[in-house]
Amino acid sequence: MLADRMRRDIGPLMARRKVKTRRLHCCGVPEYRLTTNATDRELMRPFLALFLIFSMLSCSARAEAVTPDPGIEAKVERLLKQMTLEEKIGQLNFPSQQFPSDQQQQMVRDGRIGSMLNVVNPRDIARFAHAAAESRLKIPLLFAIDSIYAFRITFPPPIAWAATWDPAQAERAAYWIAKDTTTVGVNWTFAPMVDISRDPRWGRVIEGAGEDPYLGAAFSAARVKGYRRGGLATSVKHYVGYGAPEGGRDYNGTQLSISELHDRYLPPFIAAIEAGTETVMASFNTINGVPVTMQRGLIRDLLKTKLAFDGIVTSDFVAIGELVNHGVAPDRQVAARYALLAGIDLDMESNAYTRYLETEVNAGRVPLDYIDDGVRRVLRVKFRMGLFGKDVRDYDRLPAKLDLTETRKAAREVARDSFVLVKNHGHYLPIAPATKRIALIGAAADYTDHDHSWYGPAGYTKPKAQSYLAALRERVGKDQTLTYAPAFADPCGQHFADKDEAVRVASEADLVVLIVSEDCTQVGEGVSRTKLDLSGVQQEMLEALVATSKPIVLVVETGRPLTLTYAQTYAQSILIAWHPGTEGRTALAEVLFGEHAPSGRLPMTFPRAVGQIPIAYDGLPTSRPYTGDRYTTGYVDEKFTPLYPFGWGLTYTSFTYDAIKVSSREMTADGSITVDVTVTNIGDREGREVVQLYTRQLVARRSRPMRQLKGFQKVAVAPRQSKTVRFTLKAADLGYHDDDGRLIIEPGPFKVFAGGNANADLEAAFDLVASKATAP
């Protein structure tokens, strides 16, 4: 039986010789028993173990399936029966716009293109939409762009959304971005990116929610809901494991166990599916040596069958063609076969499906049923989105202007809530009226041009934005002075303009505000770093300002955790501003002057040194816990603890945690308990605290993390007042997966911790016990 299963699961990846008539129904679509020659078997030998592992995945990870609409399913089947093979393959063809686009528009009329990428100018969208309406079957197009955290107005990036620890803010941001995007006719965004990552060397941490699967799942669902409510279909990405490349190097391979897959990397994808995402984008890295683009076990078996996802699975950009670069396919024709059989429905820009799939079907190497499965999914999504009922003339009436009032308001509030105050020694923030002379240093303080969005390609003018300098000048008191020195020749501090002038201005001030920014070219995809300190000459500038002995407020624009060990020692206040966006500089001025208090918390651990990476709060206990002795876990040249732990953040008041109470000392394996936590604001100003709940399983059959986030609530507490926050813990949320992908809910002792970060030390205990129905 096991050998039979292995042959069946890896068969679609082998070169075909003959298709037998017996069909096996494993993945919700028919499968075929295939024979191979000795060369085929030798070619596939490296893949045997991997596909055996993924074929063993259990149904414990199954997402809550969307209930099919019988009316839509009937329409899909009627339309599918009318389609030629060429038209079916056309629905799986997903190219990027070319200039000029006349040839592509004719391909749309001929039914040879089903979706378009990077068409953002409303006039071009209208032309393509009319071309689809002129095709034989009049199947509408999907228009997709990376409208992730900006269309015309730029929001802070998604890592900043996660730093709010308020999923409602993420949903709001996604909603307004979607509303603005749909005004030009775009109907699909490549978001959210939900890859869990513990490696800030990897530049794309800027697009996700950080290191924790519980937090990541909450923000994944919120973002999907927001984009969809605003009118955009979503594409949760990158399925799966893309955020854990070896060495933190983008596009590099990932080594991933089954238990890690289920416990760490899948939860945000399951949350997105349950929130209604229409599409999933496969990652283009390898997992355990095999590119995800051709991994049937991950896509057709796990995603489409066990997770019950019935929408579209798209490749990443040219990922099918890149199977040749990976060395697993000799050419694009074989790559097309491997990807389609694995379950990739759309070929994004590789032009492999449209060129080779008809030949593959006619040769018997690709079953027509597999083509039909992909086309069903495309048509199903288009019907669910209401595209078939849309009047094509609506594209001719797209608005020439956008009302950005509400979008700007949302962008400012998200930015304001995302700022993380990680140090405030001496309470130099907020800036007090008694601070008479303020020095503002850094070219980024008077620069707004790195708010990248789609305004240009869409034919709009750049939206106006206020600089830090202008926003701060509006807020200085009549008895205060603000003196500005750019110091750097560029906003990201790669070179000096006038270091000496900046030092002179700082020397004459009572308080120095230094704005530093991560290298402007080192943000996002393809920008992995081996060093995470301040880029360019910014560190040198900071050290020169420290030498003046003036108190320093350091504002850090970044899309990832940096190593700020020197700054932590010598700056009095440090505020992580992320990349604040169109309205974010005004929001920052509001926070610096105390109109609003910072309430963000870190969604990723900040390391002391790059040598600690990968780093996260939920590590396993070791056989020799750190005591300071040489033969215990740690480093000889640096503390083993992070610079700032996961969940860390300060505000303009202080909180204490006074009590924790569990509703019962026992929880049955099918039950739940509540945990009440009392938090008190001991300051003189109202503040918002993120109350965080962590658990630890003390004894289990495998080593369990020291802490795991299981709940959080952001609450406002009046000065000198207390608030009790209630959490519900379910036994099902305390389980873990074994190496066969089975969910294990294991009885035994647990601790629960409450506090303001992952080092929370207010604790209680309970036991997880077998339910009465299952007790011996």
What CA–CA distances, in Å, run from 507 to 537, 545, 569? 19, 8, 20
Helix (H, G, I), strand (E, B) or coil at 621: coil
**Would the CA dihedral through 568, 570, 575, 579 be positive or negative?**
negative
How far apart (Å, rounded) are the C-alpha atoms in residues 30 and 33?
A: 10
Query: In terms of DSSP bridges, do strands 666-668 and 762-769 run parallel, antiparallel, or are they unpaired?
Result: parallel
Query: In 10 A of CB 684, how many CB atoms?
Result: 10
Helix (H, G, I), strand (E, B) or coil at 14: coil
Question: How far is C-alpha 249 from the geometric centre of its chain's CA atoms?
Answer: 17
67 exposed, middle or buried (CB, 10 Å; 0-12, 13-18, 19+)?
exposed
- Residue located via tokens 């005591």: 627
Nearest CA among 502, 572, 511, 508 for reference residue 538: 502
**Residue 9 among the catalytic residues:** no
How far apart (Å, rounded) are the C-alpha atoms in residues 589 and 405?
A: 20
Nearest CA among 174, 187, 266 for reference residue 227: 174
- Name, in order, each residue with C-beta under 8 angstroms of 243's C-beta and a sequence gap of 6 or more: 195, 196, 197, 199, 202, 204, 205, 208, 265
Of 180, 316, 345, 347, which one is the catalytic site residue? 316
- Name, in order, each residue with C-beta under 8 angstroms of 521's C-beta and a sequence gap of 6 or more: 492, 527
Helix (H, G, I), strand (E, B) or coil at 499: helix
- Residue located via tokens 């008077």: 446
How far apart (Å, rounded) are the C-alpha atoms in residues 154 and 524?
A: 15
Phi/psi of residue 177, nearest 5 degrees: -65, -45
Strand partners, 184: none
How far apart (Å, rounded) are the C-alpha atoms in residues 671 and 655?
A: 32
Nearest CA among 79, 68, 66 for reference residue 387: 79
Positions marked catalytic: 316
